[in-house]
Amino acid sequence: MNSISDSYKNKPSHHHIVPLDFKNVHTVPDSHKWENVEPHTSGSVPSIDLCDPNAKSLIGEACEKWGVFYVTNHGVPTNLFKKVEQEAFRLFNLPTDQKLGALRLPDGVTGYGMPRTTTYGSKLLWAESFFMIGSPMEHATQLWPHQTDQQTTFCAVMEECQKEMKRSSGRVMELILESLGLNPEELTWVKPKDGCKEAQSVLSLNSYPVCPEPEKAMGLGPHTDTSLLTVLYQSGCTGLQVFRDGIGWIPVQPVPGALVVNAGDLLHVLSNGRFKNVLHRAVVNNEQHRISVAHVYGPPADVKISPLMKVAGDDDDDHDPPLFSPVTWKEYIYAKSVHYDKALEFIKVTAE
Ligand SMILES: O=C(O)CCC(=O)C(=O)O
Ligand SMILES: [Fe+2]
């Protein structure tokens, strides 16, 4: 099988480290202590109405300047997120032993465990996560072995969420490609016809439990996403922050009805460096348990991503030469797990 699950399997990782029993710790242990965490400042991220006739150019501009933006009128029903949030709280509030029933295996990808970005830092995170690719039924039966109703409800809500977020991510991807002057049909997996390979995605529920000493801990350390894009829903609690050169860390507050789109490393490659792969982090607090739902969207695992010809240009036009060598999502996930924030350096085309 050649799928996104295989990509995560190969990576050296702390993937299967058991998260802390957060409810039963009253101070931040040394293993989870982050020093000199930079404070945040203020600012606001652009917001784009997907029904705006200018959505295409606004998205292009936001990707270029920010690499992050809110989208409204994205078509995902708000009540679906309420249900996802409810199910996520139900899961993360289970006793630790019960959650460990669905613990991700050392060579596994889906299930309960640490966030994907754990490998990127030396300190552990004040967070736990649950990954899904397709139906989470296998894990639902591990989490709620005696409650078939609970298993069915959880799976129905999560499958609906994957379907809706994939559709919405696809729409944003189309607008991004159009903003680069391309016809989305040129990348068959963006709008797949029968039998074509489809874009792939991972749905991640992230949980940031209440932290007794939030200034000493970190929910997710600074990172960029490996994906083309990540579409994020946040429960009504602040935590996400994005980094702006010369300004610092700007909070991306939850806005009712809006989703957050982060441009990832592969979009930076595809756009030949034009679109920013936004550096972001998630901080924790001592009042509210925060949940976020991240839909990580990328190409089929074995499709090479390289700077698009119309952006990078053929020899016979005056665009910039391609800055990056072709790479699959699978190869890139592996490179990122080894080289973290230097991973893009390894696919940079070096001048002769
Ligand atoms: O929880 C958040 O706000 C950020 C999540 C995130 O960055 C990720 O899942 O990659
Ligand atoms: Fe992220």
- Residue with tokens 């040129």, as numbered in its chain: 186
- Residue with tokens 């610092």, as numbered in its chain: 248
Cα–Cα distance measured from residue 217 to residue 116, given in angstroms and rounded to the nearest whole number: 17
Residue 97 lies in a domain: yes
Residue 116 lies in a domain: yes
Residue 290 annotated as catalytic:
yes
Q: Express each pLDDT in 289-324 by its tens digit.
A: 999 999 999 999 889 999 987 777 655 566 789 999
β partners of residue 220: 282
Q: Does any ligand 1 atom lie closer than 6 A to the CB of residue 204?
A: yes
Choice from 8, 92, 230 to test ligand 1 binding pocket (greatest atom count within 8 A of CB) = 230
Domain harbouring 187, CATH code: 2.60.120.330
Q: Which H helix or E strand runs over 177?
A: helix 148-179
Q: Does any ligand 1 atom lie closer than 6 A to the CB of residue 234?
A: yes
11 secondary structure, DSSP code:
S
pLDDT at 264 over 60: yes
Average pLDDT over residues 241-270: 97
Mean confidence (pLDDT) of the chain: 91
Write down the catalytic residue from 116, 171, 244, 290: 290
Q: Whose CA is nearest to atom 6 of ligand 1?
A: 294
Average pLDDT over residues 72-101: 96
User: What percent of the chain has a predicted confidence (pLDDT) above 90?
Assistant: 77
pLDDT at 10 over 60: no
pLDDT at 6: 66
pLDDT at 120: 66
Residue 34 lies in a domain: no
Q: Which residue has the higher pLDDT, 191 or 271?
A: 271
pLDDT at 220 over 70: yes
Cα–Cα distance measured from residue 51 to residue 123, given in angstroms and rounded to the nearest whole number: 42
Residue 31 lies in a domain: no
pLDDT at 122: 75
Q: Does any ligand 1 atom lie closer than 6 A to the CB of residue 220?
A: yes
Q: Does any ligand 1 atom lie closer than 6 A to the CB of residue 254?
A: no
Instruction: Please say whether the beta carbons of 170 and 295 come within 8 A.
Output: no
Residue closest to 80 by CA, chosen among 146, 166, 3: 166
Choice from 118, 260, 266, 280 to test ligand 1 binding pocket (greatest atom count within 8 A of CB) = 280
- Residue with tokens 């429960």, as numbered in its chain: 235
pLDDT at 1: 43
pLDDT at 187: 87
CB proximity list for 82: less than 8 A, separation 6 or greater: none
pLDDT at 13: 52
Q: Express each pLDDT in 44-66 by its tens digit.
A: 999 999 999 999 999 999 999 99
Cα–ligand 1 centroid distance for 225 (angstroms): 9
Q: Which residue has the higher pLDDT, 36 or 165?
A: 165
Residue 162 lies in a domain: yes
Q: What is the largest CA-CA distance in the chain?
A: 66
Residue 32 lies in a domain: no
pLDDT at 90: 98
Cα–Cα distance measured from residue 74 to residue 161, given in angstroms and rounded to the nearest whole number: 13
Cα–ligand 2 centroid distance for 266 (angstroms): 13
* Cβ contacts of 245-251, under 8 Å, gap ≥ 24: 247/41, 247/43, 248/38, 248/39, 248/40, 248/41, 249/38, 249/39, 249/40, 249/41, 249/281, 250/40, 250/41, 250/42, 250/43, 250/44, 250/45, 251/40, 251/42
Residue closest to 248 by CA, chosen among 91, 50, 37: 37
Range of the domain at 216: 4-26+39-346
Q: Does any ligand 1 atom lie closer than 6 A to the CB of residue 206?
A: yes
Q: Express each pLDDT in 233-245 by its tens digit.
A: 999 999 999 999 9
* Backbone CA torsion sign across 180, 182, 184, 187: negative
Q: Express each pLDDT in 149-188 by its tens digit.
A: 999 999 999 999 999 999 999 999 999 999 999 988 888 8
Q: Report the domain count for the chain.
A: 1
